[in-house]
Amino acid sequence: MGRRPGARATQVRGGVLAMRIKVDTEKCEGHNRCFVVAAELFELDDSGYAHEVGDGKVPAGLEEKARLAVTNCPEQAISIDEDD
């Protein structure tokens, strides 16, 4: 399966693909579609706006859910970057 635009991954120690998600809180409108499709990767604040869990690192096996969250955000507030 090919990668979607904006979904970059890089090889890290041990040959494991790693990615990190980031929510642009200035763009987030609180639709919570990201949370619906990938609750393991997002948390909601008291006002209902999403932010990434922890440092945003996507655990192995949840990469497709991260990509789905990106494509489902109507505000395009979620990005995926290669791991530092």
Digits of tens for pLDDT over the chain (84 positions)? Answer: 444 444 444 445 455 568 999 999 999 999 999 999 999 999 999 999 999 999 999 999 999 999 999 999 999 999 999 655
pTM equals 0.77
- What does residue 59 show for φ and ψ, rounded to 5 degrees? -65, 150
Task: Give how many domains the chain has, as a whole number.
Answer: 1
Can you give the residue range of the structural domain that contains 27? 10-82
Q: Residue 50's domain is classified under what CATH number?
A: 3.30.70.20
Is residue 44 a part of any domain in this protein? yes
Is residue 1 a part of any domain in this protein? no
Is residue 2 a part of any domain in this protein? no
Is residue 5 a part of any domain in this protein? no
Distances (CA, A) of 31 to 19, 52, 62: 23, 15, 21
CA atoms within a 13 Å half-sphere pointing along the CA-CB vector of 10: 9
Is residue 45 a part of any domain in this protein? yes
Instruction: Give me the residues paired with residue 79 across strands.
Output: 22
Is residue 66 a part of any domain in this protein? yes
Distances (CA, A) of 1 to 4, 57, 63: 9, 21, 12
